[in-house]
A and B are shown apart, each in its own frame.
Chain A
Amino acid sequence: MHPPLGRPEALIAADRCYFCFDAPCTTACPTGIDIPGFIQKIRSDNIAGSARTILRENIMGGMCARVCPTEVLCEQACVRHTHEDKPVSIGLLQRYATDPILDKNITLFERGPESGKCVAIVGGGPAGLSCAHRLSMLGHASVVFNRDEKTGGLNEYGIAAYKTVNDFAQREVEYILSIGGIEVRNNVSLGEDFKLSDLQGEFDAIFVGFGLGSVNDLGLANEDVEGMLNAVDYIAELRQAKNKGNLPVGNRIVVIGGGMTAIDIAVQTKRLGAEHVDIVYRRGPEQMGASRYEQEFAQTSGVNISHWAKPTKLLTGEQRVIGLEFERTTLDKDGKVTGTGESYSLNADIVFKAIGQSVSEETLGAVSGTLDMQSGKIVTDDHRKTSLPGVWAGGDCVYGHDDLTVSAVQDGKIAAIAIDKYLREESNNG
């Protein structure tokens, strides 16, 4: 969304960093990147060192520099806010440091001395790849089972195209895999092509990071009519389309939801030529999963955002969507969203569902009943260990996860460190 920084701009931006003690930005980063440290290295033109500082905590530092909601994470914590209200441009500086590494394919990490152990990774998204990379650094081999045709998960299929041009997601995947010791098997689905129990005997440990299966339904009648689309599926299709101009776009679009996906699909369809794009969210702007910056970005892109309304009825004609009826909402005295009784309707030829995704029954299949679950998601401890022996989990499929790429990467990293400890203890005991 922002153009990348050139060296002169980067040096000026870097100079604004105060090099704080126990830096609040680092505390705010889900992966704990030493932000003043990498910025200091930009100041001294030590780009490889800067990139290593970033990537050793977050191997997807390049993608996160593009998609992280920095304004609510590191940049919100920046002490420059106190008197100036203008934080150091941490996200842009991170991109400045990491882009050359991928562009020139500079090796920063090497595979550790081989342990002879092999870990199964279910899911080829940020959590799985992060876990696989860290395991490789620690000397363990891994096999990544990925349900899609391409590796990368939501980085490849779930982020709007305008955020990640030039096939960045695939280049980042290639860079991650170039460390060696990671075998990727694409087009294999858990539950369909293999079971978790198949892996248990074959591998020394398992990491589960398969994301989310399906989008929640709105709970309305006739949701399968023409014109009702799933935002995540549409973005995936769009990202893979050779000619984006050939994709069907409506003229009047309504997006239901308040997260990053809602913003992505709204901005993307507006850019593809939709006349009216409305996002409708059942709570207020503060509760939206999308950051304030993203909201403003959508609004300046011509998207209308309405708060405090929930869909109550699908309006159809000739077996397709023609509009939606909404009821205005408010908070009751317990803080729960409740309808006010007041209603209105919007015309729509396409309705995108972009509301909370959850683990689907089919995806869980064989593992259901053996894993501790809550609200359809896997429960883990602080080390990302599940209730199942030898199985760790991370990313969107985990309960309490905040749906950010950066958090998925952190999950993978933490799990890998825990798996390493487990495997080494196991060898010592064995």
Chain B
Amino acid sequence: MADLTSDFVGIKSPNPFWLASAPPTDKAYNVNRAFEAGWGGAVWKTLGEDPPIVNVNGPRYSALHSNERRVIGFNNIELITDRPLGVNLDEIRQIKKDWPDRALIVSIMLPMEEKTWAKYVPMIEDTGADGFELNFGCPHGMSERGMGAAVGQVPEYIQMATEWCKKSASIPVIVKLTPNVSNILPPASAARDGGADAVSLINTVNSIMRVNYDTLTMYPTTDGMGSHGGYCGQAVKPIALHMVAEISRHKDTADLPISGIGGISDWRDAVDFLALGASNVQICTAAMVYGFKIIDDLTDGLSNFLDQKGMSSVKELVGKAVPSVTDWQHLNLNYVEKALIDQDLCIECGRCHVVCEDTSHQAITSTLNGERHFEVIDEECVGCNLCVSVCPVDGCITMQHITDGIDARTGQPISKEAIDWTTHPNNPMRKRS
């Protein structure tokens, strides 16, 4: 059995799955239930100054559903905790006392004044919590007041606030980043420069879910008016993975520990984040959709996967896929793949044909001798993977690497020599050897 225990910048937990700072971690009652269910840690819902903020009393959430009403994407406009600071601090203290082996991190969001940080940081650390997470990511409401994503979008502010926190804190400080930026590297570097022990990402993405088709107003609304929220859930995972990988593969930020967040709902999603450089993961939406019990599959699935891979700990998996991420310009342009349809598995739905015919390269037949038949035409196939993506039968269409002979499409011999854009003859800016 692989070792699932986790040590994230000195914060220990029995497994690498923490509940992200969000509604599920707003109260001792919920966190207690999570720890009973087996979660490795929790990041307490963001604390702010007293008096507490006020939340709307109408819809705070809405979802993008599949037709089976599976939640694919999720949107929220809830702000930080709306309970008095003292109540939260008492509960955090008690939870840490009751669950000493679990990681308990406190998320905080404070105005951009040094004295405020100097006042609250020691007070919160006194609860016995294991670390801070600085919420520079919340994209709705709080950002209008100059906090949350408003800080996370300005690297100088990130660095400044991180420094203020570090001055008063003796426990690790994690900076939570917003994805609502065009390049994640400057914010990550700013966190590192401010002294952050780690970053966590992503927070939610600015979003409006849809329109109400009866009233033709945005949906949902509070008394007829709506405001953009933060988008999360499975739909945002690819966005998060890209940002995690960017931080992992760039030399300036490669050493910065990452807590991966964004659409993780089963153990495979966790493998994605870990392999792309996150040291642990945080989860919220999946728990809000299915409850805390999902931790069983998360831990069990990850453990079985590690065993299968012959890895003895999570640490061995971290960053494994990072070396495979590069810039487009370094991809081998002499490498050729073509799709192959397994005729025994093919159900003859013809989806591959019609999408290739309509939107791509006219590289799949629809008939053979007058009979319904779908087969790749190597002379036309550019290896784009569209047919693989739309085929409803898993494994029916696969991409085959052509290693020698002639590429039927170009008529050119397959070259064993790799050539990328930087050296390609068609590139007027190519590097000359």
A interface list, Cβ under 8 A from B: 8, 11-12, 14-15, 18-24, 43, 79-80, 82-83
Contacts and interface: CB of A to CB of B under 8 A. Distances in A.
A11 B347 CA distance: 22
Q: Which of A21, A79, A80 has the most CB of B within 10 A?
A: A21
Interface of B: 66-69, 345, 347-351, 353-354, 366, 372, 392-393
A21 B348 CA distance: 9
Contacts of B66: 15
A20 B349 contact: yes
A261 to B, nearest CB: 35
B42 to A, nearest CB: 34
A82 B351 CA distance: 15
A18 B68 contact: no
10 contacts: A12-B67, A15-B67, A18-B392, A19-B351, A20-B351, A23-B350, A79-B347, A79-B348, A79-B349, A83-B347
B353 A21 contact: yes
Given A20-B349, A20-B351, A14 B67 contact: yes
Contacts of A80: 347
Contact of B350 (A14, A21, A83): A21
A24 B354 CA distance: 14
A22 B350 contact: yes
A24 B67 contact: no
B67 A18 contact: no
Contacts of A24: 348, 372
A83 B68 contact: no
Q: Which of B69, B345, B349, B393 has the most CB of A within 10 A?
A: B349
A11 B67 CA distance: 6
Given A11-B67, A15-B67, A82 B350 contact: no
Given A21-B354, A21-B366, A22-B372, A15 B349 contact: no
A20 to B, nearest CB: 4
Q: Which of A8, A12, A79 has the most CB of B within 10 A?
A: A79
Contacts of B345: 83
A39 to B, nearest CB: 11
A8 B347 contact: no
A18 B349 contact: yes
A15 B347 contact: no
B353 to A, nearest CB: 5
Given A18-B392, A21-B353, A11 B348 contact: no
B362 to A, nearest CB: 13
A15 B354 CA distance: 19
Contacts of B351: 18-21
Nearest to B65: A11
Given A18-B392, A21-B366, A22-B366, A82 B348 contact: yes
Nearest to B353: A21
Nearest to B396: A83
A212 B353 CA distance: 45
A14 B69 CA distance: 13
Contacts of A12: 67-68
Contact of A82 (B67, B69, B347, B372): B347
Contacts of B68: 11-12, 15
A12 B348 CA distance: 22
A22 B353 CA distance: 10
A15 B66 CA distance: 9
B2 to A, nearest CB: 34
Contacts of B393: 83
Nearest to B350: A21
B349 A8 contact: no
A80 B349 CA distance: 9
B309 to A, nearest CB: 30
A43 B67 contact: yes
A412 to B, nearest CB: 30
A14 B366 CA distance: 24
B349 A21 contact: yes
Nearest to A43: B67
Given A8-B69, A83-B347, 7 more contacts: A11-B68, A18-B392, A19-B349, A20-B348, A24-B348, A79-B349, A80-B347
A43 B69 CA distance: 12
Q: Which of B68, B345, B350, B354 has the most CB of A within 10 A?
A: B350
A20 B67 contact: no
A270 B19 CA distance: 61
Nearest to B213: A45
Nearest to A80: B347
Contacts of B347: 18, 79-80, 82-83
A21 B351 CA distance: 6
Contacts of A20: 348-351
B311 to A, nearest CB: 34
Contacts of A22: 350, 366, 372
Nearest to B358: A21
Nearest to A10: B67
Contacts of B67: 11-12, 14-15, 43
A198 B66 CA distance: 61
Contacts of B350: 20-23
B164 to A, nearest CB: 51
A19 B66 CA distance: 16
Contacts of B349: 18-21, 79
B255 to A, nearest CB: 46
B71 to A, nearest CB: 15
A308 to B, nearest CB: 35
Nearest to B355: A21
Contacts of A8: 69
Contacts of A23: 350
A83 B68 CA distance: 21
Nearest to B364: A21
Contacts of B69: 8, 11
A210 B351 CA distance: 43
